[in-house]
Structure 1
């Protein structure tokens, strides 16, 4: 922190005013904000944020932008101190900052960042991101489909990272430790967020907005990847967030200290004063229902994370003092829990779940890869066993060396088929029967062999 704030802005040398046209080329700019404000003409950008060194608290930040030769009114930026990774996560050199604001297309910036006592913030930067335009931005995966009554609740239609244009090379920006996704033990619950952005964006702008948030989280904040596991736009479209497999318990960076064994869903917009649209709420309920049902978690239950008792479906503000996910969205969390419960059918009734209960969750551990379809049936991967099911075979599990070997074949292997027994002991080793063959453990050879055919 520096001296008492001055009233006049710090003026940078202005570049020539560029044409007000969307750019096809991505760009990333950081402008030092060492005074109370900075004023400059810039090349076109679509998203703006302000960052400062980690540890500085109680910062008030605001911006106004130049669009079509005119300056907008000043707008405060949301400051969420506890958005981000868990303290021990390998998320690079972190900087504190605002939530980014989508401005569509602008060619100038004025910004201010001061503490609540009116002093300047040393080391602050204004970040301007142009995510560029991709031909796929105009693609539309369509409206949300009809609700399904299948059990477990199916994975909803989702815009993949590849489809929204994620540059996977960016995950190496903060070091080699960031390249490989990190996973938690299981999924216990979910946190609902809002991006504190604007609400009047168009369909074709959303992929660019997601790319810009991704760049801001990585380059500006120092995180490994986009912080949220999923995002939902106002049209009801779901976007895959952090890399690592949407079906798996990927460690996110959405609710500091509470990311382990949870996932974060961010709705794109600001819902402090405005209610979220029905399509957005319905799609949020569907992604919650899919993840919770697959991991056998009731939306009506309570859980414990980081020593705190929380609802299975919680808002960001349930963990710390924050406005997120906005009062109007937070007031809808009760409806979301009820809707998720309805989509899930009110209880868990799948053959795999019933079989797992017979084995005992204390014995097999928690779900890691929740119940999902395979090429020949269904499967859930628990901590110590994998359970498979089809109508023809019933539920059976693989464990130990048999599980390892079966996974290498491609669990649910079409050639070997699903297990039709559990492993059992025989003279000299153990074996397990599958639809079209066997896995055989030879105690002397200390390895598992694959034997195709019905007889052995």
Structure 2
């Protein structure tokens, strides 16, 4: 693919028109031993013996900058050394959040099983913070926390890189009711027009967590982002642990360009992958790097983006695969992980095969990307073939039918039928003019538009 990406002109699309993948809305109740507690941080510091908790963070009223925060905890009757908490000033509440919902804060820190906390937070002038709180979260334990995912499926080399195996929100125990905590506008996910780039983060957490602790860590992060920071949902689109397991982050469909809360003004048209741990002084494990590369390869390949290109996003020229620190002065994703971004780009390029060669991509290129628009729902498998939903056309492919698209009123009607439905089948022609209207042939029927009644009719059967 080289350094000149085949970038498509940005065309806004209406997410509401796209039939979304099925998202589970049912949720299990929180674990019986889970809890969330806030302690006022009056003065320069606070110290308290508490009920057991696993994650800690400090928040303060939004708009305060230059905060320095640190914490130590009590485990097994002993106090740990003081540990600084990472402060990111470029995060804020999601668009549409209620006025005053957002709070400034540190990144949350996983501390395992602690029963006491001492915390300190001061302004840039060294003075106490008015309205600061120490947040203690116990995510509880679920029987499913010890579950391990199976093997990922292998697809044809002509298809984009396959979606890696992923621990779903349901599987890691997301309480979907929590998305309504900051208002009804947070319940429905928000989408960008497309995916143009990826940002790599680290959670600035501990690196000695166990496999069974990770689902609880993700649940605690989710609660902190929503309850403590005032966001609609978990900020990151995906998370990867040190064992190489991938976790679905923000709700809305992993395959779609879900608008996250990970890189401030660069959230639109990008996705955020957070690796769980602190990689400022520790090198990231090989399993973590490989799984991160696979997430990046899947999302970028599906949307026809080169990992070795640069792009203008948020007014800045950035690599398609960038680190958080490329957008502002921050240590994230840690010096040791940031040094691996070059390797990540090369590895992603190798996984993607170095070029785009799918029939759908070739079809869109032949018609012209200015005519089909941006990919919204990137190339993905369907029940009978593959599809990419662009801004103005949905393109379908199977070995039996070839590659054709639906657009305009035909696209709208076909989606209502359930695109690729067993009864009508896939398109076997593009729409074409006939006397009195327009028609398009499918495997087991037709869509017809008559100029007289200006309605799209469905006719089943092979002859017309």
Which range is displaced more, 213-222 or 139-148? Answer: 139-148
3-state SS of paired residue (1:103): strand
| 2:407 paired with 1:431 | no
Question: Does the alignment pair 1:98 with 2:112?
Answer: no
CA contact (8 A) 2:445 2:460 kept: yes
Of 53, 60, 74, 1:52 maps to 60
2:227 to 213, 219, 223: 219
Picking from 200, 203, 216, the partner of 2:211 is: 203
Give the aligned partner of residue 368 of structure 1: 376
Contact map agreement 2:96 2:186 (CA 8 A) in 1: no
Q: Could you tell me whether the CA contact under 8 Å between 1:84 and 1:227 is conserved in 2?
A: no
**Deviation at 1:392?**
1.3
Other structure's SS at 2:292 match: helix
Structure with bigger RCO (C-alpha 8 Å, 6+ apart):
2
Residues 321 and 281 (structure 1 numbering): CA distance in 2 closer, same or farther, change over 3 Å?
same
CA RMSD after TM alignment: 1.6
Partner of 1:443: 451
SS in 1 for 2:266: coil
Change in 2 beyond 3 A, CA 1:148/1:113:
farther
Report deviation, 1:90: 3.7
Kept after mapping to 2: 8 A contact 1:85/1:257 = no
User: 1:85·1:252 contact (CA, 8 Å) conserved in 2?
Assistant: no
The structure 2 residue matched to 1:162, chosen from 164, 170, 174, is 170
Instruction: Determine the structure 2 residue equivalent to 1:187.
Output: 195
Partner of 2:81: 73
- Tell whether the 8 Å contact from 2:155 to 2:162 is kept in structure 1 after alignment: no
> Aligned to 1:131, which of 104, 119, 139?
139
- Equivalent position of 1:18 in the other structure: none
Contact between 1:84 and 1:255, CA under 8 Å: does it hold in 2?
no
**1:341 maps onto 2:349 in alignment:** yes
TM, length-normalised to structure 1: 0.92
Q: Deviations over 1:375-408 (max 9, x none)?
A: 1111000000000001111110100111011111
| Map of 2:127 onto structure 1 | 119
Q: Secondary structure at the match of 2:360?
A: helix
Q: Which runs of 4+ in 1 moved over 4 A?
A: 142-150
| TM-score, normalised with respect to structure 2 | 0.91
Cα distance in 2 for partners of 1:148, 1:307 equals 38
Counterpart position of 1:61: 69
Matched residue, 2:7: none
Cα 1:91/1:419, change in 2 over 3 Å: farther
How far did 1:73 drift?
1.1
Task: State the shift of 1:443 in Å.
Answer: 2.4
Q: How far is the alpha carbon of 1:445 from its aligned partner?
A: 2.5
Classify the secondary structure of the residue corresponding to 1:355: helix
List aligned pairs for 1:240-259, cutoff 5 A. Answer: 240-259=248-267
Mark the runs of 5 or more structure 1 residues left unpaired by the alignment.
1-22
In structure 2, the residue matched to 1:328 is 336
Q: How far is the alpha carbon of 1:180 from its aligned partner?
A: 0.3
**2:439–2:446 contact (8 Å) kept in structure 1:** yes
Rate the CA distance shift 1:124–1:147 in 2: closer, same or farther, 3 A: farther
Deviation at 1:80, TM superposition (A): 1.3
Distance 1:146 1:245, change over 3 A: closer
- Could you say what secondary structure the match of 2:399 adopts? coil
Distance in 2 (CA, whole Å) between partners of 1:145 and 1:454 is 35
Runs of 5+ unmatched residues, structure 2 = 1-30
Cα separation, 2, equivalents of 1:153 and 1:322? 31
The 8 Å contact of residues 84 and 254 in structure 1, kept in 2 or not, is answered as: no
Task: Tell me the equivalent position of 1:17.
Answer: none
Q: Aligned-pair distance for 1:83?
A: 3.6
* Deviation at residue 24 of structure 1 after TM alignment: 4.2
Whether contact under 8 Å (2:151, 2:165) holds in the other structure is no
Provide Cα deviations, 1:108-157, integer angstroms capped at 9, x if missing partner: 11100012332111111000001111111010115778898453111000
Matching residue of 2:33: 25
1:280-335 Cα shifts (integer Å, max 9, x gaps): 00000000000000000000110111110000000000000000000000000000
Is 2:282 aligned against 1:277? no
